Chains A and B, each alone.
Chain A
């Protein structure tokens, strides 16, 4: 039997009553409140659906850089994992490592290849060969893909040298990175 303060209190059968029990409660309110979580579940479901649409199984192959603005294209394909050569207005970078300055390349414009780039891509190819050393169809499976992520204003004389160097290293399939506008175009048509 709990110890209670002396005074008026309702009979046990009236304690649950809102009419009689409320009078005797002395102004106290119940502290339990049911929170309606259904709208929150709805919102979360919609968020999950939206984020599933943004999901990409290949992950982020190219990272957007401040100094590189990509051109738009309507008929691009899905980008695949391959070594990335980023060409900005000032430098040439391969998978995050700087290989040449554009100013230096403009100075020795008599040459077609970029030796450091070629060497770096050869290393990448050696790594691919090592990973696939037990593959009997290694030569068949070699596609020679390289992704070129260049700024819109980069001149072709630079792209040409990068392409030549890549071809010398065995990467003859060039993928020019673009911003996919096919969805935007389809949306505007509607």
Chain B
């Protein structure tokens, strides 16, 4: 703020006083404003970034499927104790066995393999956007969310969730 170079002599007359070019800016209002902003933003800040994965519950209450949706390929991902099963109405069926057991005794699903297969389907059917995730009763919420996340990541964003059987 302070500073500034030397002032050149004007006109060479010795009697004339030089005017200072330095000006002190009053920063107190700026500090007041920033303090108010900080207080407001601290109150309204959201520290945990929560997102949502949208899914539809088919059947009761929901809108009936449109003609375009009926024509689309039916892709189903089933979560069971043994692993994942990917089936399509075109006749494709792929078993993705679980990659082991987690400390709680539940299966560890091979999401990478599922993601690869879903991307293959998306490449073959670019207009395809719907997928049905069918889960066993014992499947935990974290696994369900991870599978839905893999489906959305592969471009199949219209996810319907239902129970197996």
Q: Shortest beta-carbon distance, B32 to chain A, in Å?
A: 10
A134 to B150, CA, bound (A): 41
A73-B149, A157-B137, A172-B61 known; A41 vs B54 contact (CB < 8 Å):
no
Interface segment out of the listed B8-16, B42-50, B88-96: B42-50
Count residues of chain B with CB under 8 A from any CB of chain A. 49
Mask of A150-177 contacts with B, CB within 8 angstroms, 1/0: 1111111101100110111111111111
User: Which residues of chain A are near B52, meaning CB under 8 Å?
Assistant: 76-80, 147, 175-178
Q: Which of A25-47 contact B (CB under 8 A)?
A: 37-38, 40-41, 44-45, 47
Q: Which of A12-62 contact B (CB under 8 A)?
A: 37-38, 40-41, 44-45, 47-48, 51-52, 54-56, 59-62
Q: Which of B49, B79, B152 has the most CB of A within 10 A?
A: B49
State whether the Cβ of B113 lies closer than 8 Å to any Cβ in chain A.
no
User: Which residues of chain A are near B152, meaning CB under 8 Å?
Assistant: 75
A71-B146, A178-B149 known; A153 vs B35 contact (CB < 8 Å):
no
A27 to B62, CA, bound (A): 88
User: Which residues of chain A are near B7, meaning CB under 8 Å?
Assistant: none
Is B34's CB under 8 angstroms from A156's CB? no
A182 to B144, CA, bound (A): 18
State whether the Cβ of B118 lies closer than 8 Å to any Cβ in chain A.
no
State whether the Cβ of B38 lies closer than 8 Å to any Cβ in chain A.
yes
Is B46's CB under 8 angstroms from A55's CB? yes
Is B50's CB under 8 angstroms from A48's CB? no
User: Which residues of chain B are near A168, meaning CB under 8 Å?
Assistant: 60-61
Is B45's CB under 8 angstroms from A167's CB? no
State whether the Cβ of B104 lies closer than 8 Å to any Cβ in chain A.
yes
A164-B57, A178-B50 known; A71 vs B138 contact (CB < 8 Å):
no
Is A79's CB under 8 angstroms from B44's CB? no
User: Which residues of chain A are near B48, meaning CB under 8 Å?
Assistant: 64, 179
Is A155's CB under 8 angstroms from B44's CB? no
State whether the Cβ of A70 lies closer than 8 Å to any Cβ in chain B.
yes
Q: Name which residue of chain A comes closest to B150, CB basis.
A: A75
Q: Which of B2-35 contact A (CB under 8 A)?
A: 27-28, 30-31, 34-35
A172 to B105, CA, bound (A): 32
Is B41's CB under 8 angstroms from A55's CB? yes
Q: Shortest beta-carbon distance, A114 to chain B, in Å?
A: 14
A38-B27, A78-B51, A154-B141 known; A163 vs B35 contact (CB < 8 Å):
no
State whether the Cβ of B65 lies closer than 8 Å to any Cβ in chain A.
no
A38-B27, A48-B37, A80-B52 known; A71 vs B44 contact (CB < 8 Å):
no
Q: Report, nearest first, the 9 A-B pairs whose CB atoms are least far apart.
A: A76-B51, A51-B41, A157-B137, A172-B62, A175-B52, A152-B142, A180-B51, A167-B61, A44-B34
User: Interface residues, chain A, CB within 8 Å of chain B?
Assistant: 37-38, 40-41, 44-45, 47-48, 51-52, 54-56, 59-62, 64, 70-71, 73-80, 87, 144, 147, 150-157, 159-160, 163-164, 166-180, 182-183
